[in-house]
Amino acid sequence: MLSANDLTELIQGYDRDPAKSYSLGAQSYTDERFLTIERECIFYRSWQWVCHVEKLREPGSYCVTDVQGRSIALVRDTTGTLRAFYNVCKHRAHELLKGEGKAKLIVCPYHAWSYDRAGALKGIPDQRNFPGIKPEEYGLIPLPLVERHGMIWVLPDPGGEIDLDALDRLLGDPTESTRLGDNGRRTVEEKLTWNGVALQMQRRYEEILRQS
């Protein structure tokens, strides 16, 4: 938990006017407690871009992504509907899918419970060991998903508030993004915090200096 003192220290140097504002305290970039709060208050409550729709054109195609520590599976089902689930088995919480590919059934690598592409539980090996189990109560946990201008967005909280207006405001004019396709993904591994990167990308100041 953060104390009032922590917060006071954190915002020293901050001013609403960017011209008068200095860096936040170093702990805001390094303290795990801040990251926990950022995840709960920002990332798990807002739409997160996950991939281009081209990656999931075919029925049965899937890909797995990680949103701030939550593994999420995206699947195109038999009817062509795109779906998102927590990538976690309802039996003993083993991870289900890895990477990307195509699958008729989602089969858990641990004890082989299987789910269809809409997330319904379809098979339990040796079901006699689970007397009274109701498969309809053990489907994968679905997450809100939308497609906008060829991009797929997920809300990483099954009970989260579905505010599509907020997403559309964020995206603004879609003209540019509709011309984009999926040309692959490049992963760059660096020891950086998300907020350090975001601040650099947002600042007009660096851009002005680069151009001068």
Interacting residues toward ligand FES by CB under 6 A: 89, 91-92, 94, 108, 110-113
Whichever of 123 and 150 has its CB closer to ligand FES, that residue is 123
Whichever of 7 and 112 has its CB closer to ligand FES, that residue is 112
Q: Kindly state the smallest distance separating residue 112's Cβ from ligand FES, in Å.
A: 6
Q: Kindly state the smallest distance separating residue 86's Cβ from ligand FES, in Å.
A: 13
Whichever of 92 and 98 has its CB closer to ligand FES, that residue is 92
Whichever of 45 and 111 has its CB closer to ligand FES, that residue is 111
Q: Kindly state the smallest distance separating residue 130's Cβ from ligand FES, in Å.
A: 11
SS3 34: helix
Are 73 and 85 in contact by the 8 Å Cβ rule? The answer is yes
Q: Kindly state the smallest distance separating residue 88's Cβ from ligand FES, in Å.
A: 9
Collect contacts of 114-119 with beta carbons under 8 A, ≥24 apart.
Answer: 115/139, 115/140, 116/77, 116/78, 117/59, 117/60, 117/62, 117/75, 117/76, 117/77, 117/78, 117/83, 118/77, 118/78, 118/81, 118/83, 119/75, 119/83, 119/85
